[in-house]
A and B are shown apart, each in its own frame.
Chain A
Amino acid sequence: MGSTNSTLSRIPNVEELMQETGFTPAHIVRLYDRFEALDKEKTGHLRPQDFGAINRLAMNPIGDRIIGSFFSTGQETVDFHSFVRILAHFRPADKNRPKDPSMPQPVNSRTSKLKFAFQLYDQDKDGKISRAELLQVLRSMLEMQVTEEQLESIADRTIQEADLDKDDAISFEEFRKSLEKVNIDHKMSIRFLR
């Protein structure tokens, strides 16, 4: 009906965005519609509260963290480009892409996905998941179902297994190593249709 092209023309720098993220025009349009639907006051930006209105997200145990991952430190709003760029991390890997080490890693590579997942734990962005940070995530996911001692023993065990240089924290490399057998592309991807 022509609506795809007209919507695309409303988005500034959309060619660049598609290049960078690998989304097709159809995806961009659907995401734009979704962005507009969430942006109830039509400000062109999303704030944490706009995400909070999504019921299914509100009932997710780590919902707050997920919302937080859209906002870089200090920022209170996220515009459409940033919204799309973050979601681009979760595109399934392009199987036909030649593995060229001289080219920069695409946003949805295995390493990029792992980096994103790492940030979920490492909230202070010091490059390590400390025991306290791990406990925080555990607490969100388990809340009142287990005791504090049980939480601590889980955290201890996890660090023990993953921490290879014995600094009582999990670095990105250790994180990556402990998950080397997990099919990251399958488990950290949203299968966008079309």
Chain B
Amino acid sequence: FLTPLYFMEGGSMEQEMGELRRYRTQSISRGEFSLSDSFYFYIKGLESIVDDQVTQRFSSEELVSWNLLTRTNHNFHYISLRLTIIWGLGVIIRYCVLFPLRITLAIIGLTWLVIGTTLVGFLPNHRLKNWLSELVHLMCYRICARGLSATIQYHNKENKPQKGGICVANHTSPIDIVILANDGCYAMVGQSHGGLMGVIQRSMVRSCPHVWFERSEMRDRNAVTSRLRAHVAAKTNLPILIFPEGTCINNTSVMMFKKGSFEIGGTIYPVAIKYDPRFGDAFWNSAKYNMVNYLLRMMTSWAIVVNVWYLPPMTRREGEDAAQFANRVKSAIAHQGGLLDMAWDGSLKRAKVKEEFKEQQQKMYSSMVMGKKGSTHTKRSHYLY
């Protein structure tokens, strides 16, 4: 785990300001400005310069001891002859022995997926069809998992997602789908692609309903929600699989869940996925590597070791809005997976931070300067410090 560079005194803005002004006679609620108020912001700013919690989440986790993969070692350089020889052997094994085996398996797996689902698609709609479809899907995903040398440990299988429900999980890489589908059948949700992906998608849909969207449809949130709702309402459909973070995070924390998934209704089955970083770094840094490159790296790692926890189902409570529900589910997942529960939005990776957050800081500060009655607080206050 990353060791922090400095010791974070976790006082809230009020607490810190209060201490700064302790020598003054007025209390915080009376307001008043002090020249030392700016120190609070100054130090917080410097702390973020020295060590930034957020950007750390978007680059791969640093390992305490090296696992002979240069990609996970940021300080890679020559240390000793012996180590280099061992590393060299590791490379040979990974690239010349493991990789060809895995690629073969992956090709077999995917080919069977396409052929199998197409064949099943010819059958009339019947219980037999569903059973065969599940069989085919499971078989293919298991072969693919072997193709990645994935060792998966499932916990609390009694909470496995049921038909007509929605499965939400934290997102680290596209492999998450293979990991989850090894133990059950899900209806996938996603954008329709062309090329090889498109072939796979179209054949999958023949044997059981998945939800594929055209790129243009994705922008219309209502259309998306209603289609998902219709799928969930038909109780015989497989549970849909959604990753509410919206993007891949590096598996040390869970970022804000987009509330869209939580507005569909139905029962939510949260799932926590945690990869063991010692055997291979499963995080897909889409800014740095494209899909092919990424899969190559996956197939030349030692192994993918995963723990999957099925959490008890949750539903939206009375008076709880979608955003609050999303946060509740997120905390449960983070807690179970031993991941940090962060208030940051996953879209920060690509976009500049919203002005909102700055304004929120100013609002909080202004209530201290102007006295409590002079401020308006927003309902959701993210205590970011």
Using CB atoms and an 8 Å cutoff, list the residues of chain A in contact with chain B. Answer: 1-3, 6-7, 27, 30-31, 33-34, 37, 51, 54-63, 66, 87, 90, 117, 120-121, 137-138, 141-146, 150, 154, 157-158, 162, 170, 175, 178-179, 181-182, 187-193
Interface residue? B197 (CB, 8 A): no
In Å, the complex CA distance between A108 and B42 comes to 15
| Sample of 14 A–B contacts (CB below 8 Å) | A37-B55, A51-B49, A56-B48, A56-B353, A58-B352, A66-B42, A141-B37, A142-B362, A145-B362, A145-B370, A157-B33, A158-B35, A188-B42, A191-B9
Report whether A142 and B365 are in contact in the complex, using a CB–CB cutoff of 8 Å: yes
Report whether A193 and B43 are in contact in the complex, using a CB–CB cutoff of 8 Å: no
Q: Which residues of B contact A33 (CB under 8 A)?
A: 74
In Å, the complex CA distance between A37 and B75 comes to 12
A65 CB, min distance to chain B CBs, angstroms = 8
Q: Which of A7, A31, A37, A182 contacts B23 (CB 8 A)?
A: A182
Interface string of B56-89 (1 = CB under 8 A from A): 0000000000100000001101010000000000
Q: Which residues of B contact A179 (CB under 8 A)?
A: 35-36
Using CB atoms and an 8 Å cutoff, list the residues of chain B in contact with chain A. Answer: 3-7, 9, 16, 19-20, 23, 32-55, 66, 74-75, 77, 79, 344, 348, 352-353, 357-359, 361-363, 365-366, 369-370, 374-375, 384
Q: Which of A3, A60, A121, A182 contacts B75 (CB 8 A)?
A: A3
Q: Which of B74, B79, B363, B374 contacts A2 (CB 8 A)?
A: B79
In Å, the complex CA distance between A63 and B49 comes to 10
Report whether B366 and A146 are in contact in the complex, using a CB–CB cutoff of 8 Å: yes
Report whether A1 and B66 are in contact in the complex, using a CB–CB cutoff of 8 Å: yes
Report whether B352 and A154 are in contact in the complex, using a CB–CB cutoff of 8 Å: no
Look across to chain B and name the residue whose beta carbon is closest to the beta carbon of A56. Answer: B48
Q: Which residues of B contact A31 (CB under 8 A)?
A: 5, 50
Look across to chain A and name the residue whose beta carbon is closest to the beta carbon of B364. Answer: A145
Q: Which residues of B contact A178 (CB under 8 A)?
A: 35
